[in-house]
A and B are shown apart, each in its own frame.
Chain A
Amino acid sequence: MHWIPVDHFQQWREAARRLITAAVPPEEINWISGGQPNLFGSEGDAAERAALESAAAEPPAPAFTVPSQFIELARHVACHRDPNRWELLYRALWRLKHAEPYLLEIVTDSDVRRLMLMQKAVTRDLHKMKAFVRFRQAVLGDEEVFIAWHRPDHRVVRLAAPFFARRFNGMNWSILTPDESVSWDQHQLHYGPGATVADAPDSDALENLWRTYYASIFNPARVKVAAMKRELPVRHWPTLPETSLIPELLRTAHSRMDQMIESKSGFEQTAAAFLPPKVDLPSLRQAAGVCTACDLYRDATQAVFGEGPPQAQIVLVGEQPGDREDLEGHPFVGPAGVLLDEALQAAGVPREDVYITNVVKHFKFTLRGKRRLHQKPNAREISACRPWLEAELGVIKPKMLVCLGATAAQALLGRNFRITQQRGQIIASDWCSRTLATWHPAAILRMPDPARREEMNAQLVSDLAQVH
């Protein structure tokens, strides 16, 4: 019987190489794991053991080849805590060298299976170490260092350390485990003895922020505790700052989800809820008069619906009624309406052939003294009012659709439409194959520079002239 003391992969590799060369069969070897006295260890022949130990110091035996897959397997299995690992590895090696060169491909073989399961356990533990090490910041002198306390299942520190060195290349860090510790000084890895939890810092200022993140990213509408525990084994919880939150998150999940479902009733609606059963212009106009889909109805005098013949070929869409329109109840009757009339006339388009409406049907304003100043409708109001415009366009089915100003253009041609760049171009939209956007008459009226105002006015006329 040969007694071989072995502690790590390199020792085993050298001994195994020698023993294979000497044709020592697996049954004749007793592998003694360091620190773990073998059952027969005390009875072993001391002289023979001494002889073998001195043999360990002999120059390595001549190399022979094994599949590289086996070396990789052995390197991992060597880190497993199972005391039978050395014996199992040697037996596999023996079989590989004796008539079973394809042994590793027969994964259903019982030795291969056991080795593969060990390899899998070590790989998983290695992976979990990469995942679950949590550094805490400490200041030593004027240096910032990061220290972690971790409890791996197997002795994987040396397998994992190079990964941490690559990843946290520019940091000084240490990882402490019960078996072994390792540190990195931005140049080299240093291995040291095992440590206890007391050797690591007990908190880090960032951990509260991390817990905030953990709690917020959790979706209470789906709870899968078993799935979590499979991947985040409970034995690792003590070293992970975020796990202290888990019981509370689970306790409140159910009520939080119910709340999410119930709060549906508070949703702000759109005009779709007010559409009349019969869709023609008079019914729509009447229904829009009592629309309360957004809050604009509260301060406005009345809804201002579109006007013009139902068989109109051309539809003009503005932004929203102004002060005068709001009081009179008709679209484009204020100063902007006057300018629009002149432009239509100059372009040779009779206003009677045109249906005119707005994206938003109620006047939005802010009070400045006694004056009601126009205010741009926001996207919420535009979307709430949108069903009216869509219904009008659906009834009329215009041959030509003209958007006056950016609000109308973006509502009908998409949010990224740029009126300054795409004005006057005829584009297909969802409602009309010939859609174009031009200046809003009110924008022309507000333009302070007279030359620019003149130019915009001319552009409005020429754009409108395209509608024929």
Chain B
Amino acid sequence: MDVSEKLAILADAAKYDASCASSGAKSTRAGSKLGSTEGMGICHSYTPDGRCISLLKLLLTNYCIYDCQYCVNRISSDTPRARFTVEEVVRLTIDFYKRNYIEGLFLSSGIIQNSDYTMQQLIAVAKQLRTVHQFGGYIHLKTIPNAAQELINEAGLWADRLSVNIELPTAADLRTLAPEKKQPQIVESMNGIKLKITEQRQEKAAGFQTPRFAPAGQSTQMIVGATATPDLEILKTAASLYDGPRLRRVYYSAYSPIPHADARLPGKSPSLVREHRLYQADWLLRFYGFTADEIVAEADHNLSLEIDPKTAWALANRHRFPVDVNTAPREELLRIPGVGVRNVARILQIRVHQRLRVADLKSLRVAWNRAAPFVVTADHNPALQVLDKQDLRTRLQPPATQLLLFDLTASSLSGEL
């Protein structure tokens, strides 16, 4: 099997990993000859699924001794298998990087022989890139579940980011679909990484020369829609990971129907709208000061698909509105539907010098349709009178067609762009 055939199989197998971020490493490693990391990642291309290609996302091998039901590479799947050598992955990364196709490498693997052996192979790739080729580009290594902590610690020396997949939102989900992975062990690995990161920071702050350890922090991925777990539980798990092991990101991946899936799994993918709503809610958790319990207001503990979570929250808490953009504190501004973090900062900046009017908010590109019923401005805001109307929800709801994925059916049937 030549490299091209292996690449087709092992990139295909890696496409279920949602993360593609290449951000977070603020400075390039000293002594690098090829490659840089300057904080912000770059998306070098986009595929027709709307996702960016930033890192070369590969599996070292898709052979696996585990049998996680949601995974296409589980042992009981008859998917075609391949295995790269360490040198092949290194070569591909360097060749692609030199042509500016990629920001770096995101390497994961099915488990062969045992967790430690597999982890050692991943480390070998990263180490060779750093030490033989003086590669300074971004490296994201996915740690192998149950690998020894010493190995994870070594991986952190060569990688910019480490991730441990939480896989499914609850421990019970894992027991059903991935009996060999245990949530306590997964969280323990995350805490181990956090400990090393803090240790390194403290030593550096104290003036010691310490080697870099995962400067871009750690992230995780959760598959959504493979079990019946509601959004509330999903967001609670995410919140606990942001608070505990201090993850930079939790990625939500709408479960994709995979070839030869288990009967316990739904044959249809959950709507991408749900995934989108979860990401919106996730931002509310991280940047807007919301808690998981607040965000999910619906009786069935799921986010509304028709309306974004911030508007849904505002509708359920109308007594907290209207908010005066010229006097309200930052925390209250952040809760206005249609006003983002950056616009809140701008509003605070502008109102020192002049009072804001409706026209100002519109020129800031506030999503005025959504914000109007909830804000008081310096001039008259006629939309405010609908705040108490029964049908406010329907008024704020975008027409249904925008949310459905007609994009898919239309374009893929006609092939038309």
Report 27 cross-chain contacts, Cβ distance below 8 Å, ordered by A residue: A108-B359, A127-B42, A131-B45, A132-B45, A146-B99, A166-B38, A206-B96, A209-B3, A210-B96, A213-B96, A216-B7, A217-B11, A218-B48, A219-B15, A219-B16, A221-B256, A222-B50, A228-B48, A232-B45, A250-B411, A250-B415, A254-B413, A259-B259, A260-B257, A260-B259, A261-B257, A383-B76
Interchain CB contact (< 8 A) of B99 among A102, A167, A210:
A210
Query: Do B412 and A267 have beta carbons less than 8 Å apart?
Result: no
Check: A296 CB closer than 8 A to any chain B CB: no
CB distance from B266 to the nearest CB of A (A): 10
Which residues of B have CB within 8 Å of A226?
A: 50, 407
Question: B-side binding surface: helix, strand, loop or mixed?
Answer: loop
How far apart sit A234 and B4, CA to CA, in the bound complex (Å)? 27
Query: Do A209 and B92 have beta carbons less than 8 Å apart?
Result: yes
How far apart sit A210 and B7, CA to CA, in the bound complex (Å)? 9
Known: A132-B44, A260-B257. A218 touches B15 (CB 8 A): yes
How far apart sit A354 and B11, CA to CA, in the bound complex (Å)? 50
B71-117: which residues lie under 8 A (CB-CB) from chain A? 75-76, 78, 92, 95-96, 98-101, 111, 114-115
What 4 A-B pairs are tightest by C-beta distance, nearest first? A224-B50, A227-B50, A251-B415, A170-B33
Interchain CB contact (< 8 A) of B415 among A131, A231, A247:
A247
Query: Do A224 and B412 have beta carbons less than 8 Å apart?
Result: no
Query: Do B350 and A260 have beta carbons less than 8 Å apart?
Result: no
17 more contacts with CB within 8 A, not counting A137-B98, A170-B134, A226-B407, are A107-B349, A108-B350, A134-B100, A135-B99, A166-B38, A210-B99, A214-B47, A214-B53, A217-B15, A223-B48, A225-B411, A228-B50, A231-B43, A232-B45, A253-B408, A380-B76, A415-B115
Of all chain B residues, the one with the shortest Cβ separation from A273 is: B263
Check: B208 CB closer than 8 A to any chain A CB: no
Query: Do A223 and B96 have beta carbons less than 8 Å apart?
Result: no
Interchain CB contact (< 8 A) of A169 among B8, B34, B260, B408:
B34
Which residues of A have CB within 8 Å of B356?
A: 108
CB distance from A150 to the nearest CB of B (A): 10
Check: B352 CB closer than 8 A to any chain A CB: yes
Segment from B192-200, B210-218, B267-275 that makes contact with A = B267-275
B294-321: which residues lie under 8 A (CB-CB) from chain A? none
Cross-chain pair count, CB within 8 angstroms = 238
Query: Do A225 and B48 have beta carbons less than 8 Å apart?
Result: yes
As a 0/1 sequence over residues 358 to 396 of chain B, the CB contacts with chain A under 8 angstroms (1 = contact) are: 011001100000000000000000000000000000000
B contacts, CB < 8 Å to A: 3-4, 7-9, 11-12, 14-16, 28, 32-36, 38, 42-53, 56-57, 65-67, 75-76, 78, 92, 95-96, 98-101, 111, 114-115, 134, 146, 180, 182, 254, 256-263, 267-269, 272, 346, 349-350, 352-354, 356, 359-360, 363-364, 405, 407-409, 411-413, 415-417
How far apart sit A219 and B257, CA to CA, in the bound complex (Å)? 11
A contacts, CB < 8 Å to B: 102, 105-108, 113, 127, 130-137, 146, 148, 163, 166-171, 204, 206, 208-210, 212-229, 231-232, 234, 240, 242, 246-251, 253-254, 257, 259-261, 263-264, 266-269, 378-380, 383-384, 414-416
Interchain CB contact (< 8 A) of B267 among A167, A264, A415:
A264
Which residues of B have CB within 8 Å of A166?
A: 28, 36, 38
Query: Do A379 and B67 have beta carbons less than 8 Å apart?
Result: yes
How far apart sit A131 and B42, CA to CA, in the bound complex (Å)? 6
Known: A134-B101, A213-B11, A225-B417. A219 touches B49 (CB 8 A): yes
CB distance from A209 to the nearest CB of B (A): 6
Known: A170-B34, A264-B260. A251 touches B180 (CB 8 A): no
Which residues of A have CB within 8 Å of B96?
A: 206, 209-210, 213
CB distance from B381 to the nearest CB of A (A): 16
Query: Do B7 and A208 have beta carbons less than 8 Å apart?
Result: no
CB distance from A140 to the nearest CB of B (A): 16
CB distance from A5 to the nearest CB of B (A): 34
Query: Do B412 and A251 have beta carbons less than 8 Å apart?
Result: yes
Of all chain A residues, the one with the shortest Cβ separation from B346 is: A107
Which residues of A have CB within 8 Å of B350?
A: 105-108
How far apart sit A416 and B147, CA to CA, in the bound complex (Å)? 9
Known: A167-B36, A383-B76, A415-B66. A253 touches B412 (CB 8 A): yes
Interchain CB contact (< 8 A) of A108 among B33, B47, B99, B360:
B360
Query: Do B146 and A415 have beta carbons less than 8 Å apart?
Result: yes
Query: Do A229 and B413 have beta carbons less than 8 Å apart?
Result: no
